[in-house]
């Protein structure tokens, strides 16, 4: 399994490694361990061979249940399932696509009741370490021969994210990139008489007012029902405003504190508050999910939407008349002083449930899903839905011009931010202990959108204090030095490099 790279890669920061590929800053070569011995490789292969597939010769009818929230590739998934079932007689795939919040809320109960999936996305609210500790998942590498993993790109072999020790547990759905660029509706902007795209927050507010006043549409629409999506939205804008907050689910401190009450965060909330006060936010934002918001955008109900590359393929297939473009998220001032953080591989990772009656078939499903012999990887990349983690697929099949444009903008507007795991992999134990503080930044933004939060500054101060206290508690419980989380002296204006760790 990627001989000699796994332990070396586990020392790299999850987000740092990713953002380096996004921002175009190459990491220096990392000293690798010795290649796996023949005995180790043989042992891994034997483990896989111990659990032969039940698809051949048993006559057993298998229903394989798969849960995720990848709604933008449902068409490609349907085609893959037909291929898979044709090549695996007696197997029926029961696929359920839900929202992130729904999956997070239901997965533990469903698994404990025996009604859960065989294969599912690890919820964004749970670390792999916690899932292993709670015996919710089993190693995929127990069911797949070791040399098969050589087809995956190196950066997905990450201790605590896809691996625990020598065991590989999770397949990321896609190559991790930031999912927060601005889409604009050309039809709506034309109707409002807008001739120049906004580059600053003030220009954006003015264009949104113009759209709201002169058309039947609104300036901005979002899936405000989903706190996770709002968390991503507010962190993106706050990072661009200079706040030193990591991506959702990751932790940074500044001078020993959470940065949720910094000026950059306050400015971000003031920006969204002004959008609400102007009447430029679509009034249904607070009650709809992200998929519904994307569809309403496509129906010309708003000029702008912040989302990810996956929207491109879905709109081009389902809304061929939609004329849309992509632009960077506007900046507080005329100059882009700060950037947003790249995505990370702690999101959208497929795992196999420990309660599955057919774990070997779950592994077979994932193995085929990531195989170039099937259509799924090729069609998703070719349609511009996302970038693949299978080595060579992107170079061969990425032809969608808008997807290329999306990726080019990310290269210019994202940075590599620091990660405590790079300092000490024991920080993964901290992530297994830490509990999300509620209400979080996304919940508070929901309060602004619904006009139920009159004093966001006090709420942000409370969030910062409570987060700091919880992070200290989790570090103590995990036996982790709290100072490992602190990166005072760095900001979002530049990449955090391997040399900076030294």
Residue 218: its H or E element:
strand 218-220
* pLDDT tens-digit readout, 362-386: 999 999 999 999 999 999 998 888 8
Q: Give the model's pLDDT for residue 322.
A: 96
Taking every pair of C-alpha atoms in the chain, what is the biggest distance, in angstroms? 72
Residue 123, pLDDT above cutoff 80: yes
The one-character DSSP state at 61 is: -
| Model pLDDT for residues 143-199, shown as the tens digit of each residue | 999 999 999 998 888 877 898 888 999 999 988 777 789 999 999 999 999 999 999
User: What's the pLDDT score for residue 58?
Assistant: 53
Q: Encode pLDDT of 14-50 as tens digits.
A: 333 333 333 333 222 223 333 333 333 343 344 444 4
- pLDDT for res 33: 34
Coil, helix or strand for 36? coil
* Local confidence band at 222 (pLDDT 50, 70, 90 cut-offs): very high
To the nearest whole number, what is the mean pLDDT of the chain? 86
Compute the Cα dihedral for 386, 392, 395, 396 and give only its sign. negative
Is omega for the bond preceding 439 within 30 degrees of 0, making it cis?
yes
Write down the architecture of domain 62-174+346-413 according to CATH: 3-Layer(aba) Sandwich (3.40)
Average pLDDT of 393-413?
89
* 62-174+346-413 matches 182-343+419-500 in fold: yes
| Residues across the chain | 502
Q: Lowest-pLDDT range, 53-67, 213-227, 317-331? A: 53-67
- Range of weakest confidence among 44-58, 217-231, 427-441: 44-58
Tell me the whole-structure pTM to 2 decimals: 0.73
Is the pLDDT score of 307 beyond 80?
yes
Q: Which CATH number fits domain 182-343+419-500: 3.40.50.720, 3.40.190.10, 3.40.50.2300, 3.40.50.150?
A: 3.40.190.10
**Domain boundaries along the sequence of the chain:** 62-174+346-413, 182-343+419-500
Measured distance CA(208)–CA(217) in Å, rounded: 10
- H or E element, residue 67: strand 62-68
């Amino acid at each position: 399994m990627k001989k000699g790279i796994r332990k070396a890669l586990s020392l790299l920061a999850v987000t740092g490694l990713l953002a380096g590929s996004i921002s175009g800053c190459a990491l220096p070569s990392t000293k690798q361990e010795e290649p796996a011995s023949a005995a180790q490789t043989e042992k891994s292969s034997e483990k896989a061979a111990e659990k032969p597939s039940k698809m051949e010769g048993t006559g057993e009818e298998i229903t394989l249940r798969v849960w995720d929230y990848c709604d933008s590739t449902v068409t490609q998934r349907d085609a893959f399932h037909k291929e898979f079932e044709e090549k695996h007689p007696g197997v029926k795939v029961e696929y359920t696509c839900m929202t992130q919040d729904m999956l997070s809320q239901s997965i533990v109960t469903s698994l404990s009741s025996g009604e859960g999936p065989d294969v599912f996305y690890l919820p964004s609210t749970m670390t792999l370490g916690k899932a292993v500790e709670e015996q919710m998942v089993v190693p995929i590498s127990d069911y797949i021969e070791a040399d098969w993993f050589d087809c995956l790109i190196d950066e997905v072999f990450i201790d605590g994210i896809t691996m625990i020790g020598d065991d590989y547990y999770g397949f990321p759905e896609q190559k991790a990139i930031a999912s927060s660029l601005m889409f604009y509706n050309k039809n709506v902007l034309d109707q409002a008489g807008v001739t120049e795209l906004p580059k600053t927050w003030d220009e954006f507010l003015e264009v949104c007012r113009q759209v709201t006043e002169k058309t039947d549409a609104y300036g901005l629409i979002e899936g405000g029902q989903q706190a996770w999506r709002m968390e991503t939205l507010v962190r993106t804008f706050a990072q661009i405003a200079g706040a030193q907050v990591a991506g959702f689910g990751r932790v940074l401190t500044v001078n020993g504190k959470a940065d949720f009450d910094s000026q950059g965060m306050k400015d971000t909330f003031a920006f969204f508050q002004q959008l609400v006060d102007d009447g430029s936010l679509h009034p249904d934002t607070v009650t709809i999910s992200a998929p519904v918001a994307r569809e309403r955008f496509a129906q010309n109900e708003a000029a702008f939407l912040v989302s990810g590359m996956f929207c491109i393929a879905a709109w081009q297939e389902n809304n061929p008349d939609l004329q849309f473009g992509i632009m960077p998220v506007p900046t507080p001032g005329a100059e882009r002083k700060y950037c947003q953080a790249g995505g990370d591989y702690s999101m959208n990772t497929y795992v196999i449930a420990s309660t599955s009656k057919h774990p070997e078939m779950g592994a077979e499903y994932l193995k085929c899903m990531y195989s170039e012999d099937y259509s799924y990887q090729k069609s998703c990349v070719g349609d511009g839905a996302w970038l693949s983690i299978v080595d060579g697929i992107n170079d061969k099949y990425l032809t969608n011009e808008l997807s290329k444009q999306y990726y080019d903008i990310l290269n210019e507007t994202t940075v590599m931010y620091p990660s405590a795991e790079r300092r000490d992999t024991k920080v993964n134990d901290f992530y297994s202990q830490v509990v999300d503080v509620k209400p979080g930044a996304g919940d508070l933004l929901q309060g602004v959108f619904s006009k139920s939060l009159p004093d966001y500054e006090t709420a942000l101060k409370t969030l910062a204090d409570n987060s700091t206290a919880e992070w200290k508690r989790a570090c103590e419980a995990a036996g982790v030095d709290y100072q490992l989380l602190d990166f005072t002296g760095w900001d979002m204006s530049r990449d955090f490099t391997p040399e900076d760790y030294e």
